[in-house]
Amino acid sequence: MAPTVFPPTDGPTTMNLVANDQEASAGGRPTEPLTPYVQRLAQRVRAFDRRHPLLWDLHFTGFWVTAALIDHLGGGWRTTTHNPDTPGRLLLALSLGLSVPLLLRRTRPAAALLVLTPFALVNAWTGAALQAALLHLVVVYHIALRLPLRDLWWATALVLTPVAVSTARHGEGDWSQQIGSQLTSVVVAVLIGITVRTRRNYTEALEDRARRLEIERDQQARIAAAVERARIAREMHDIIGHNLSVITGLADGGAYAAAKSPERAVQALDAIATTSRQALGELRRLLDVLRDDESTRPAELTPQPTLTDLEHLVDGVRAAGLPVHTTVEGRATLPAGRQLTVYRVVQEALTNTLKHAGPDATAEITLSYGDKGAVTVTITDTGEPGTTVPGDGRGLPGMRERTTLYGGTLEAGPRPHPERGWRVHLHLPEETPQ
């Protein structure tokens, strides 16, 4: 067999030409495909059925009751009957008995089949052979669609019993032909029911999975938003809290020096202005990130502080009136995240010292580098006893969150007696390979 050659997808194909012909025949407007139209119609029918199930069942049952009565009153049953002399009242009862129970086919299909079976047996025994007896295949379909599959065994037995009675009673055709034909009809009805059931279960599983994925997506979005809010709050606390503490120290020092040394007061005011502008700039950049309006100018991007900025941080604290001594042991290059953690911990510790340690306190920073990204930082001050405990807020929780991110430890508390003041000790272990 010669291989089939398909035309390239980017060139004109037969389907494209047919579509173009259809579009041209419609006066330049593309014709709507039939499949989406049928799907929308089916969706509307199913939606109507879900809203008004009883109304739909009444219409469906009424149609087949009408068909059964037409078969009886019009005499069509005589073409298949074994007993043309069957009484009219019996025919009417059988026509209604074989069609009216369809009203229960969806809510209680097993009960519908049990109600149909006596009429089917009488129909077979008397030889009336009404075509309405075939309606029990509709009930079998609904049993396969809605009930456990094990119920198909007894349902099949009930459906085949009237056929066996008719064959034994009237003796037309052999057993294998009659039973085989009826069994084939039952199998077709069952296969259709199982197919629809499988497709429905698959669709429901997809819809349930889509709902769960949507819920999970929303939960992840809320968690991410909460984490981001916490991070932004931590950054704002570090930025605003530190700079306000520096400004407060400078203002207190300027007020004290104004009477004796106006030059020092002017320097303090200049430092206050510089620190305020820095804090305002950092705050503005942070708020720019939170803007959702795409029409605004892009947020100004600034790198996060690193350990090279510690000197500038310490100089600002010294200008606020807190003597700080720094000791660095070793040398290493830390990742940006670890550098930011160390910087923020030192910043928060010095901020607390400015707030709580008192006017005569001093601070000392010891920074020790280890191998593979390990680092240890100790910040101590000589504040008066009982005055250096940080207030309840975001300071210590923020430091602990940053430390936990890298598997480190943070200790914060009063220095052991007889020393006075406060001690913050941070240790970040070696980086673990990914």
| pLDDT tens-place string over residues 136-176 | 899 999 999 999 988 989 998 998 888 888 888 876 666 77
Point out the least confidently predicted range of 11-15, 262-266, 270-274.
Answer: 11-15
Q: How confident is the model at residue 25 (pLDDT cuts 50, 70, 90)?
A: very low
Q: Evaluate whether residue 187 is within a structural domain.
A: no
Instruction: Tell me what pLDDT residue 17 has.
Output: 40
SS3 at position 370: coil
422 occurs within a structural domain: yes
In a domain, 403, yes or no: yes
Q: Determine the structural domain holding residue 397 and report its residue range.
A: 306-434
121: left (phi over 0), alpha (psi -120 to 50) or beta: alpha
Q: Is residue 354 part of a domain?
A: yes
Query: Higher confidence at residue 65 or residue 72?
Result: 65
Whether the per-residue pLDDT at 28 is higher than 60: the answer is no
Mean pLDDT of 221-237: 74
pLDDT for 7: 41
Which residues in 256-293 are b (16+ Cβ under 10 Å) and which e? ebeeeeeeebebbeebbeebeeebeebeeebeeeeeee
CATH number of the domain that 334 lies in?
3.30.565.10
Coil vs helix vs strand at 213: helix
Side-chain half-sphere exposure of 314, counting CA atoms within 13 A:
18
Per-residue pLDDT of 295-338, as tens digits, reads 445 545 556 788 888 888 888 888 777 889 999 988 878 888 88
| pLDDT average, residue stretch 229-255 | 69
Torsion of the alpha carbons at 72, 174, 115 and 103, rounded to the nearest 10:
-60
- Model confidence at 288, pLDDT cuts 50, 70, 90, reads low
Residue 315 maps to a domain: yes
Q: Which residue has the tokens 């456990």?
A: 148
81 or 262: which carries more pLDDT confidence?
Answer: 81
What share of the chain in percent tops pLDDT 70?
A: 74
* Helix locations, 26-135, DSSP H: 34-51, 53-73, 88-97, 109-126
Exposure on the CB side of residue 201, measured as CA atoms within 13 A: 8
Tens-digit pLDDT profile for residues 361-381: 889 999 998 887 789 999 998
Average pLDDT value over all residues in the chain: 79
Neighbours of 22 (CB within 10 A): 14
Backbone angles phi, psi at 332, to 5 degrees: -160, 160
- How far, in Å, CA of 139 to CA of 101, rounded? 9
Q: Are 372 and 430 in contact (CB under 8 A)?
A: yes
Asked whether residue 409 is assigned to any structural domain, the reply reads: yes
In a domain, 392, yes or no: yes
Is the per-residue pLDDT at 388 higher than 50?
Answer: no
Structural domains in the chain (count): 1
Q: Which residue has the higher pLDDT, 137 or 43?
A: 137
Note whether residue 157 is domain-resident. Answer: no
DSSP single-letter state for residue 381: E
Residue 252: pLDDT band (50, 70, 90) is low
Distance CA 383, CA 353 (A): 7
Please, are residues 332 and 373 in contact by the beta-carbon 8 Å criterion? Answer: yes
